[in-house]
Every structure is written in structure tokens, then in C-alpha cells.
Amino acid sequence: MTTNSLTTSQGAGRAGDKVFSGATLAAGCLILAVLFGVALFLVIQAIPALVAPPADIQGGHGFFAYIGPIVVGTLIAAVIALVIATPVAIGVALFISHYAPRRLASGLGYVVDLLAAIPSVVYGAWGAAFLAPQISPAYGWLASNMGWLPIFQGPASATGKTILTASIVLSVMVLPIITSLSREIFLQTPKLHEEAALALGATRWEMIKMAVLPFGRPGIVSAIMLGLAARLARPWPSPWSCPPAS
């Protein structure tokens, strides 16, 4: 191959790199522009409601009087759901990645991935039709025996469709997502770190505590946020499990 042909091929390669980098930059800018346009459109359309006097809004209340309970209820349900789901998800992920035999771990992994793919509307229907009637007697018992606590003060819901029911449904929804992502994160732990901990005489749990969990902590936080965001974007379960009139 001559020097001229080498120079020509290198020049063509550089031109191709420039075209590719320009195309990817344009695609990224286009996505940002579309998102910015959508956000700007929503803000412009919402300004009349945000600045409208309370007398112009149905019911005579301000706009934030309607939005406030929705935001607060969503935050409460999200916190309760994460308190329930996070320890269970991390435990299941550790069992699949470090304790279960290979065949059992493979089967459990398939089940977890399948649960993560179930539509949110199915979870919402399950919560409204099955979970709420089953858990309603427990609310009555809590109101009768632990009513001295503010969160359990009566009267108890006769339908079982409360914010706690919605939180339980939401925890079941985010559980497989957090479990699946955490499992993959734990499997990425460097084997040398695990073997070094075991070589120092650590038990399996001590090895997990010293090597696996510190390595996976940032990924666990990301998995929790991703699982919660993915399920909160679906509006079906909460209104079915905790309708406004209940």
C-alpha cells in the first residue's frame, strides 16, 4: 500500500468520524429540543390555572388546594412503598446472586423479570379487587387496638381502599424492578474483592457486607429511583387502590 493510498483512507476515515459525530450530536440536541418544547408548552398552558384567582376555579378554592393533597399523598405512598420494598428487594437480589444454586437462581431471575414486565393496570386491578377486601379487617383491628397512634385512629375504612393499600400495591410493583437491577449490580462486584475477603477468614455474610454492598451502594440507589419513577409514571394503581371518595 502506497503512502498516497494510506493518506486517502485516513482522510476518508476522519471524514466519516466527523459525519458520525455530527449526526449523533444533532440527534442529542433534537431530543433536548423536543423535551424543552414539551416542557415549555405545558408551562404556557398551565399559567392561566396557576395565576387564576380562587373565585374563578370550581369550588372557590385555589389551584394549589387541589394539587397539594395529590402531591403530598404521592410522596407519602412513595416513602411507605420504598420502606417496604427496598429491604425485601435487596435480600432477594443477594439470595439470587450469592446464595441460591445456579438453577434455582436462574429460575428466580426469570420470575423476577416476568413480574417486572407485568403492566401497572394489572397490579391496580389486583389491589382493588383482591388486596383491599382482604386487608380491610386488619385496618379495623388496628383502629380498635392501636387507635392511640395518630396514623391508626378510626374510623377504619370499610372498603380497605386506603393510602396504605395503595402503598402496598406500589411496593409490589417496584419490588421486581429494584430486585432485577440490584441483582445485576451485585453480580458486577469484582471477584478479587470477594475472594480477598474470604481469604481473610470472612464468612459469606461478612464478605457481602464488606465487599458486595459497598460496591453496589450507588447502583442500589439508582435502582430504587428508577423503579419508583417507572411505576409512579403509571396512574392506574393508586386511584383504584385508594380512590378519592374512600
7-38 per-position pLDDT tens digit: 555 555 577 778 888 889 899 899 999 999 99
Closest alpha carbon to 233 in 161, 149, 173: 173
**The model's pTM:** 0.72
Closest alpha carbon to 187 in 105, 71, 131: 105
Query: Where do the domains of the chain lie?
Result: 1-51, 63-241
Mean of pLDDT values over 56-83 = 76
Mean of pLDDT values over 205-228 = 88
pLDDT in tens, 161-197: 778 888 888 888 889 999 999 999 998 888 888 888 8
What local confidence, expressed as pLDDT, does residue 6 receive?
Answer: 45
Beta carbons within 8 Å of 68's beta carbon, 6+ residues apart: none
Query: What rounded mean pLDDT belongs to the chain?
Result: 80
pLDDT in tens, 78-88: 888 899 999 99
Residue with cell 450469592: 98
Residue 20, CA atoms < 13 Å, CB-side half-sphere:
6
Residue with cell 407485568: 118
Which three-class secondary structure state does DSSP give residue 75?
helix
Cell readout for 215 is 460496591
From CA 82, how far away is CA 174, in angstroms rounded? 8
pLDDT at 128 over 60: yes
Cell readout for 28 is 442529542
From CA 176, how far away is CA 181, in angstroms rounded? 9
Q: What is the DSSP letter of 99?
A: I
In degrees to the nearest 10, what's the CA dihedral of 6, 8, 10, 14? 180
What local confidence, expressed as pLDDT, does residue 246 receive?
Answer: 47
82 near 172, Cβ under 8 Å? Answer: no
Residue type for 4, please? N
63-241: CATH topology is MetI-like fold (1.10.3720)
* CA pseudo-torsion sign 167, 168, 172, 173: negative
* CA pseudo-torsion sign 84, 103, 231, 216: positive
pLDDT in tens, 138-148: 777 777 777 77
What local confidence, expressed as pLDDT, does residue 36 receive?
Answer: 95
